[in-house]
Amino acid sequence: MSDERLPLPGDATGAPSADHPGSALASIGDRILSTESEVSRFDRWVEFIAAVVLSLATVATAWAGYQATLWGGEQARHMAAATAANVQSAQQASSAQQRLSLQATLFVQWATAISEENQDLADFLYQRFPAELRVATDAWLATQPLKNPDAPATPFEMAEYALPETARAAELRAEAESESSLAAQSNDISDRYVLLTVIFASVLFFGGISGKFQSKAIDLAMLAISGLVFVAGLGIL
C-alpha cells in the first residue's frame, strides 16, 4: 500500500475555494445581520426621540388645557363684574336723574317766587335747597345772570352743581369698562391656550405614528414634523 494520505479539510491543499456555496451563504448572512443591526439601532433612536417628544407634548397639552380653563374662568369673572358695575351705574344714574328733576322743580318754584316778589316764599324755598343746589345757586347768582349774557342759564349748568349719584355712576361706568377690557384680554389668552392644546395634540399624533412605517424617510419625516410643531407651539407662548 502507498503511504500517500488524503488531504484533510483543514490543510491548505484541502481548503474550500472562494467559490464554495457555504462561503457565499455565510457572507450573505453577515450582511443580513449587519443590516438588521443598523435597522434595530435606527428604530431604537426613533423610539427614544419620539418618547421624549411625546412626554413633553403630553405635559404641554395638559398644561395648555389647564391654562385655557383657568383664563376662561377669569373671563367669566370679569364679565360678571362688568355686568354688575353697569347695573349699579344705571341705578345711580337713574337716582341722579330723579334728584335732578326734583331739584329743578324746586328751583323753578323759587325763581317764580322771586319774579312775583314773594320774598317770604322765596326764602322758604331757598332754605330747603339741597346743599349742592344751594352752592350752585349762590355761584350762579354771583355771575349776575340777569346782566351777564355769558352767564349760564341755570345753576344746574354750573361746575359747582354735582350730584353724588352722578359721580358714582361715572365711577361705576369706568369700572365696568375696565372689567370688560380685562374680560377681553382673558378671552384672548384663553383662546391662545386652546390653540396650543390643539397644536400639542398634533405633536402627539405625529410623534405617535413615527416609527410605525417601513420607510426610514417617512419615520424621520413624522418625527421631524412633531418636533417642528412642538417648537412652533412653544413660540406661541
pLDDT tens, residue by residue, 148-180: 888 999 999 999 999 999 999 999 999 999 999
Judge whether 62 lies within some domain.
yes
Please state, in angstroms and rounded to a whole number, the distance separating the CA atoms of residues 208 and 53: 9
- List, in order, residues 6 or more apart from 147 with CB less than 8 Å away: none
Burial class (CB in 10 A: 0-12, 13-18, 19+), 179: buried
CA gyration radius, the chain? 46
What's the residue count for the chain?
A: 237
Least confident among 108-112, 212-216, 221-225: 212-216
Residue 223 falls inside a structural domain: yes
Q: What angle do CA 5, 9, 14 make, to 5 degrees?
A: 75
* Nearest CA among 84, 87, 161, 165 for reference residue 130: 161
Give domain status of residue 68, yes or no. Answer: yes
For 223, counting Cβ atoms within 10 Å of its Cβ (0-12 exposed, 13-18 middle, 19+ buried), the class is buried
Would you say 207 and 222 are in contact if contact means Cβ atoms under 8 Å apart?
Answer: yes
- Does the pLDDT of residue 97 top 90, yes or no? yes
Determine the pLDDT at residue 49: 83
C-beta neighbour count of 188 within 10 angstroms: 11
Structural domain tally of the chain?
1
Task: Lowest mean pLDDT of 135-144, 193-202, 210-219, name the range.
Answer: 210-219
In a domain, 167, yes or no: yes
Q: Is residue 84 part of a domain?
A: yes
Please tell me the predicted confidence (pLDDT) of residue 21.
53
Domain residue limits at 207: 48-236
